Amino acid sequence: MQEFLAPIYLWLKAGHVIFVIFWMAGLFMLPRFFVYHQETEAGSLEDTLWAEREQKLLKIILLPSIIIVWVLGLALMSAIQAHTQGWFHAKFLIVILLSGYHGWMAGYAKKLARGERPLQGKALRMINEVPGIAAAIIVILVVVKPF
């Protein structure tokens, strides 16, 4: 497989970075949508509109992006045998956690659509920092390769 991927490695890398950007943009936007959505009255027209916006973001941007990020990321891992390197293990763990965060947000969107408001706006604003911190750590791991 490594021989097949070598000639297209840079294209895989470019695609991976492009879709990571799309995925991260969605991960930054969705909690902000939640803050605005949570401030609406449950069952109102505005509540319904926010639920629709959240579902569109999840289905049109986030779902395709996470799938492509994973597919291209695993191809890149295979192409350079990254699974043998320590920095990759740390990156992989953070990507798994970020994927779980994505899943949690998809579940939270469903709760908001049902009229449930389990978190306060301040908590949602804090949660909005998760993808930024994860992205910073991942970039350092990939570029610096500290171990």
Q: What residue numbers does the annotated binding site cover?
A: 16, 91
H helices present in the chain, as ranges: 2-5, 9-38, 45-56, 63-80, 86-113, 121-127, 130-144
Would you say 142 and 88 are in contact if contact means Cβ atoms under 8 Å apart?
A: no
Q: At which residue do the structure tokens 């899943």 appear?
A: 103
Maximum alpha-carbon separation in the chain: 57
Q: What is the CA radius of gyration of the chain?
A: 18
Binding-site entries for heme? 16, 91
What's the full length of the chain, in residues?
A: 147
